Chain A
Amino acid sequence: MNLTLKIWRQKDANTKGKIVDYPISDVSPDMSFLEMLDVLNEQLVAKGEEPVEFDHDCREGICGTCSLQINGEPHGPDRGVTTCQLHMRMFKDGDTIFIEPFRANAFPVVKDLIVDRSAFDRIQQAGGYISVNTSGNTIDANSIPVNKHDADKSFDAATCIGCGACVAACKNASAMLFTSAKVSQFALLPQGQVEATDRVMNMVRQMDLEGFGNCTNTGACEIECPKGISLENIARMNREYLKASVK
């Protein structure tokens, strides 16, 4: 396939960026999107130009490092995948593809297509844990039975990879889906109950402090989430928040 790539180039956080055109040929449909960018970068290096910086690591859809707004959609046109799992067979010969960083005030651009998502870490630090010592002096695991249904739901929420696609998809750049996934994981387990009030209050406060927008229930986040994190979690977080606020 021959394609035209329109890629956002930006030197650093303080420099203005712009779209630059790059033609690319001989793209195989079996390549992943990132492998296609690797090929482009090899060509740029051969010409002595700086390659396009983009974030990636595991390349199997689990670390949440890769990002990219592709033709206006976080992680591109395929559903339920991250950019590293997106394959070129989703595109046609002759296509023009826009490649930009995830856009949100709380995610400043670091360089080219890389953004800073450390706001997510700070939300977690505000309360996304159970305060148990790591000494190993814990009770036997099977003495905390968990209903299978709850365990499965908790697991589903816990599979959020912290990629930020939900924020990039949302017109308000809200981080509700991410935060609610974390809150839900613990809210559904008996171990998480003790600190439930503080946890939800602190995490929501930090989320607001970071400059994420409000949730207006448009649901774009759920559609773009590569891990199928459900809006149900936002409802659960709202309930938890309400419960905590009246305490």
Chain B
Amino acid sequence: MATLESRIPQGPLADKWTNHKNHINLVNPANKRNIDVIVVGTGLAGGSAAATLAELGYNVKTFCYQDSPRRAHSIAAQGGINAAKNYQGDGDSTYRLFYDTVKGGDYRAREANVYRLSEVSANIIDQCVAQGVPFAREYGGLLDNRSFGGVLVSRTFYAKGQTGQQLLLGAYAAMNRQINRGKIESFNRHEMLDIVIVDGKARGIIARNMVTGEIERHSAHAVVVASGGYGNVFFLSTNAMGSNVTASWKIHKKGAYFANPCFTQIHPTCIPVSGDHQSKLTLMSESLRNDGRIWVPRKKEDVIAIREGKLKPVDLAEEDRDYYLERRYPSFGNLVPRDVASRAAKERCDAGFGVNATGEAVFLDFSSAIMRYGREQAAIHGNHNPSDKEVRELGEKVVENKYGNLFQMYEKIVDENPYKTPMKIYPAVHYTMGGIWVDYNLMTTIEGCYAIGEANFSDHGANRLGASALMQGLADGYFVLPYTIGDYLSKDIRTGKIPTDTPEFDEAEKNVRNQIDALINNNGTNSVDHYHKKLGKIMWDKCGMARNEQGLKEALEEIKALREDFYKNVRVTGSAESKNSELEKALRVADFLELGELFAKDALHRNESCGGHFREEYQTEEGEALRDDENFKYVAAWEYKGDPREAVLHKEDLEYKNIELKTRSYK
């Protein structure tokens, strides 16, 4: 059994990271040339880590399942990235970002990690600007900021609705510079299918070349897993179709503890499901809540009229609308954190106020903002007596400038013009706060195996505030891991190349081959998607936005039964020796079918509600989450024991020395 030692440095909170860096063992530049590092995943976390490690002098191999690192899922992040720069002079500081993040995470994150994240956040912006990331600017040439849910300052940097794209292209460019110098070898369309452990240390991986089907061995002195989140366990989510848990799950099976799997974020502003054919859900950036107001009709008869198309939402009088977030949470209004906004939407829809055919949608309305901006613009242009039409046109221009691509995306999917009629939105699975357990150095419970970005259990606690995942991915990759990994690698300068013709590699390769053969030769009748959709439905119905004991117990049984059926009856067409997307999916769904069970088990044992984990049995009279700090102020880290239901719980107790635990209120 590995020990759960968080390795949080001693000393005052604000000095921990600096002290730690000062005492880390360094590797001499000449020795770095003799050390190999594997980075699995080239999103913001993996891409930035690979570039930095290569720049420091290590030999880096990167892996991703897409045809190019530039296409990693991070590219899809829309809204922005936080940093405590206080450029707006609105009172932001490292401490405030730290405070908001710990509170936003419902006090289930490590103080020391979050403080470090806040501390390095300002640096990320400097770094990215130096790399030529075209962030939004004000007319004076300085950087612009906006606000996100759960906070009262404007600390979010953005590039229209394409911030993730621009940041990822920055990290990709930094990678390209190192590829050009021969310091990174990049293996695209390659999937990691297992980790190789020699003498208790991570020493390599088994990967499948997805074009030729070849099974390859790659050795290194350390392995960094940056393979993203596992939201696709729900089948429908805002994640890219290929996002998967395989790399994380495979290291979990070999000794890396999996922490807080049930902490999953449901994002309040997504395009609602329209039909059975749906392959994924589309997010409408949370930044829209800066200007959009969320409402449903007050009266049931108006709901029905709207559903039947007899009443247009724009024609509903102001007093007949229920701006339920502004009503319930006057101080944060539409900018409450995601878990609060999601649950409030579900509450209204469950009560019968959903505004679309399925009854699972609420309005996100821009008309007030359009008119407000329009009047402002008219005044700026010296028109002090504008007509409503002029005001509206000017206002639409401003809104287009801020959110144009999001509005276009919405219109393409839904076939309605959001400038003219309110958007319809509903919560959807978005981000996983749970993940591989890591210590302060970002090392997992396997020596020499690291996990960064969304793949680790992260710095977000039970809930992630907007614009903080990009921040964490880049902080881990550019500024944290490259330091902390040196401490470990400094012991490896005399090890020499790790051979791949050892029994450990043989064994790992054999396992992978066996799994592939079994899937390909299984003469079943059901497609892989059949299982994935079924799993998704169990997860959404019983482990979704609200959970209860009975549902979770049912989910445990149903997932197990589904997994058994999968191995008996799945059909994977095609061959293992060529590009075969069915096989790729089957390998991923097999892991989701195990993770799903651990997810339910984790949700079942946590007898409290916090952040993204809402147990119906534990709520206040007003329907807010009821935390139990006495009994659950810990990270739940699960050890694999041959079957997900046998997993053994290890607790990392969380200490709050710098922040007083309070009931999280956004009223």
A and B: partners? yes
Whether B179 and A125, one on each chain, are in contact in the complex, defined by CB atoms closer than 8 angstroms, is: yes
Instruction: Say whether B76 faces chain A, with CB atoms less than 8 Å apart.
Output: yes
**Shortest distance between the CB of B649 and any CB in chain A (Å):** 35
Instruction: Say whether A42 faces chain B, with CB atoms less than 8 Å apart.
Output: yes
Point out the residues of chain A lying under 8 angstroms from B241, CB to CB: 56-59
**Shortest distance between the CB of A211 and any CB in chain B (Å):** 18
Whether A53 and B130, one on each chain, are in contact in the complex, defined by CB atoms closer than 8 angstroms, is: no
Contact of A42 among B120, B134, B527 (CB under 8 A): B527
Whether A124 and B76, one on each chain, are in contact in the complex, defined by CB atoms closer than 8 angstroms, is: no
**Shortest distance between the CB of B171 and any CB in chain A (Å):** 8
Please report the C-alpha to C-alpha distance between residue A120 and residue B176 in the assembled complex, in whole angstroms.
11
CB contact under 8 A between A51 and B581, given known A46-B527, A129-B131, A191-B132: yes
When each residue 116-157 of chain B gets 1 if its CB lies under 8 Å from chain A and 0 otherwise, what string results?
Answer: 000010010111111110111111111100000000000000
Q: Contact residue range for chain B? A: 35 or more
Point out the residues of chain A lying under 8 angstroms from B179, CB to CB: 125
Instruction: Say whether B514 faces chain A, with CB atoms less than 8 Å apart.
Output: no
Point out the residues of chain B lying under 8 angstroms from A139, CB to CB: 126, 130
Interface set, chain B 394-416, CB cutoff 8 A to A: 408-409, 412-413, 415
Whether A60 and B162, one on each chain, are in contact in the complex, defined by CB atoms closer than 8 angstroms, is: no
When each residue 580-604 of chain B gets 1 if its CB lies under 8 Å from chain A and 0 otherwise, what string results?
Answer: 1110000000000000000000000
Please report the C-alpha to C-alpha distance between residue A147 and residue B209 in the assembled complex, in whole angstroms.
45
> Which residue of the partner chain B has the closest CB to A131?
B177
Point out the residues of chain A lying under 8 angstroms from B137, CB to CB: 145-148, 151-152
Whether A111 and B579, one on each chain, are in contact in the complex, defined by CB atoms closer than 8 angstroms, is: yes
CB contact under 8 A between A144 and B412, given known A62-B162, A118-B67: no
Whether A145 and B582, one on each chain, are in contact in the complex, defined by CB atoms closer than 8 angstroms, is: no
> Which residue of the partner chain A has the closest CB to B210?
A110
**How many positions in chain A have a CB within 8 Å of any CB in the partner chain?**
80
Point out the residues of chain B lying under 8 angstroms from A127, CB to CB: 180
Contact of B126 among A30, A49, A136 (CB under 8 A): A136
Point out the residues of chain B lying under 8 angstroms from A135, CB to CB: 52, 55
Point out the residues of chain A lying under 8 angstroms from B123, CB to CB: 136, 138
**Shortest distance between the CB of B51 and any CB in chain A (Å):** 5
Whether B67 and A65, one on each chain, are in contact in the complex, defined by CB atoms closer than 8 angstroms, is: yes
Whether A162 and B139, one on each chain, are in contact in the complex, defined by CB atoms closer than 8 angstroms, is: no
Instruction: Say whether B469 faces chain A, with CB atoms less than 8 Å apart.
Output: no
Instruction: Say whether A233 faces chain B, with CB atoms less than 8 Å apart.
Output: no
Please report the C-alpha to C-alpha distance between residue A186 and residue B131 in the assembled complex, in whole angstroms.
9
Instruction: Say whether B166 faces chain A, with CB atoms less than 8 Å apart.
Output: yes
Point out the residues of chain B lying under 8 angstroms from A136, CB to CB: 120, 123, 126-127, 478-479
Point out the residues of chain A lying under 8 angstroms from B68, CB to CB: 117-118, 120-121, 162
Whether B478 and A50, one on each chain, are in contact in the complex, defined by CB atoms closer than 8 angstroms, is: no
CB contact under 8 A between A141 and B125, given known A126-B180, A132-B131, A136-B120: yes
Point out the residues of chain B lying under 8 angstroms from A125, CB to CB: 176, 179-180
Whether B211 and A146, one on each chain, are in contact in the complex, defined by CB atoms closer than 8 angstroms, is: no
Whether A57 and B73, one on each chain, are in contact in the complex, defined by CB atoms closer than 8 angstroms, is: yes
**Shortest distance between the CB of A105 and any CB in chain B (Å):** 18
Instruction: Say whether A1 faces chain B, with CB atoms less than 8 Å apart.
Output: no
Indicate the member of B85, B280, B283 with the most A CB atoms within 10 Å.
B280
Instruction: Say whether A154 faces chain B, with CB atoms less than 8 Å apart.
Output: yes
Instruction: Say whether B217 faces chain A, with CB atoms less than 8 Å apart.
Output: no
Stretch at the interface among B293-301, B335-343, B552-560, B570-578: B570-578
Interface set, chain A 1-20, CB cutoff 8 A to B: 11-12
Whether B165 and A39, one on each chain, are in contact in the complex, defined by CB atoms closer than 8 angstroms, is: no
**Shortest distance between the CB of A111 and any CB in chain B (Å):** 4
Point out the residues of chain A lying under 8 angstroms from B132, CB to CB: 129-130, 154, 185-186, 189, 191-192
Instruction: Say whether B548 faces chain A, with CB atoms less than 8 Å apart.
Output: no
Instruction: Say whether A114 faces chain B, with CB atoms less than 8 Å apart.
Output: yes
Whether A28 and B55, one on each chain, are in contact in the complex, defined by CB atoms closer than 8 angstroms, is: no
Stretch at the interface among A81-89, A95-103, A238-246: A81-89
> Which residue of the partner chain B has the closest CB to A51?
B582
Instruction: Say whether B522 faces chain A, with CB atoms less than 8 Å apart.
Output: no
**Shortest distance between the CB of A37 and any CB in chain B (Å):** 10
Contact of A60 among B159, B211, B409 (CB under 8 A): B409
Contact of A59 among B127, B173, B277, B280 (CB under 8 A): B280
Point out the residues of chain A lying under 8 angstroms from B130, CB to CB: 130, 132, 138-139, 141, 144, 191
Interface set, chain B 81-108, CB cutoff 8 A to A: 85, 87
When each residue 151-185 of chain A gets 1 if its CB lies under 8 Å from chain B and 0 otherwise, what string results?
Answer: 11011001101100000000000000000000001
Instruction: Say whether B71 faces chain A, with CB atoms less than 8 Å apart.
Output: yes
Instruction: Say whether A64 faces chain B, with CB atoms less than 8 Å apart.
Output: yes
Whether B578 and A124, one on each chain, are in contact in the complex, defined by CB atoms closer than 8 angstroms, is: no
Instruction: Say whether B6 faces chain A, with CB atoms less than 8 Å apart.
Output: no
Instruction: Say whether A128 faces chain B, with CB atoms less than 8 Å apart.
Output: yes
Point out the residues of chain B lying under 8 angstroms from A11, CB to CB: 578
Please report the C-alpha to C-alpha distance between residue A52 and residue B520 in the assembled complex, in whole angstroms.
17
Whether A87 and B415, one on each chain, are in contact in the complex, defined by CB atoms closer than 8 angstroms, is: yes
Please report the C-alpha to C-alpha distance between residue A46 and residue B573 in the assembled complex, in whole angstroms.
9
Instruction: Say whether B627 faces chain A, with CB atoms less than 8 Å apart.
Output: no
CB contact under 8 A between A80 and B408, given known A121-B176, A155-B134: yes
Point out the residues of chain B lying under 8 angstroms from A161, CB to CB: 165
Point out the residues of chain B lying under 8 angstroms from A126, CB to CB: 180
Please report the C-alpha to C-alpha distance between residue A74 and residue B86 in the assembled complex, in whole angstroms.
45
Point out the residues of chain B lying under 8 angstroms from A218, CB to CB: none
Instruction: Say whether A55 faces chain B, with CB atoms less than 8 Å apart.
Output: yes
Instruction: Say whether A35 faces chain B, with CB atoms less than 8 Å apart.
Output: yes
Whether B129 and A30, one on each chain, are in contact in the complex, defined by CB atoms closer than 8 angstroms, is: no
Whether B571 and A45, one on each chain, are in contact in the complex, defined by CB atoms closer than 8 angstroms, is: yes
Point out the residues of chain A lying under 8 angstroms from B139, CB to CB: 148
CB contact under 8 A between A89 and B415, given known A63-B66, A129-B173: yes
**Shortest distance between the CB of B249 and any CB in chain A (Å):** 20
Instruction: Say whether A31 faces chain B, with CB atoms less than 8 Å apart.
Output: yes
> Which residue of the partner chain B has the closest CB to A55?
B67
Please report the C-alpha to C-alpha distance between residue A185 and residue B478 in the assembled complex, in whole angstroms.
23
**Shortest distance between the CB of A121 and any CB in chain B (Å):** 5
Instruction: Say whether A61 faces chain B, with CB atoms less than 8 Å apart.
Output: yes
**Shortest distance between the CB of B428 and any CB in chain A (Å):** 12
Whether A128 and B173, one on each chain, are in contact in the complex, defined by CB atoms closer than 8 angstroms, is: yes
CB contact under 8 A between A111 and B578, given known A59-B241, A134-B127, A145-B140: yes
Point out the residues of chain B lying under 8 angstroms from A28, CB to CB: 275, 277
CB contact under 8 A between A63 and B142, given known A85-B412, A85-B413: no
Whether A62 and B76, one on each chain, are in contact in the complex, defined by CB atoms closer than 8 angstroms, is: yes
> Which residue of the partner chain B has the closest CB to A189?
B132
**Shortest distance between the CB of B226 and any CB in chain A (Å):** 15
Indicate the member of B73, B176, B242 with the most A CB atoms within 10 Å.
B176
Instruction: Say whether B188 faces chain A, with CB atoms less than 8 Å apart.
Output: yes
* A-B pairs with lowest CB-CB distance, top 3: A145-B141, A129-B173, A141-B129
* 8 additional A-B residue pairs with CB within 8 Å, beyond A31-B277, A134-B51, A134-B127: A46-B527, A59-B279, A110-B211, A136-B127, A145-B140, A155-B166, A158-B134, A158-B166
Could you give 22 example pairs across A and B, Cβ below 8 Å? A32-B279, A34-B279, A38-B529, A45-B527, A45-B582, A51-B574, A51-B581, A57-B71, A60-B282, A89-B415, A125-B179, A128-B173, A134-B51, A136-B478, A139-B126, A145-B137, A145-B142, A148-B141, A151-B136, A155-B160, A189-B134, A191-B130
Binding site for B on A (CB under 8 A): 11-12, 28, 30-32, 34-35, 38-39, 42, 44-46, 48-51, 53, 55-65, 78, 80-81, 85, 87, 89, 110-111, 114, 116-118, 120-121, 124-136, 138-142, 144-148, 151-152, 154-155, 158-159, 161-162, 185-186, 189, 191-192
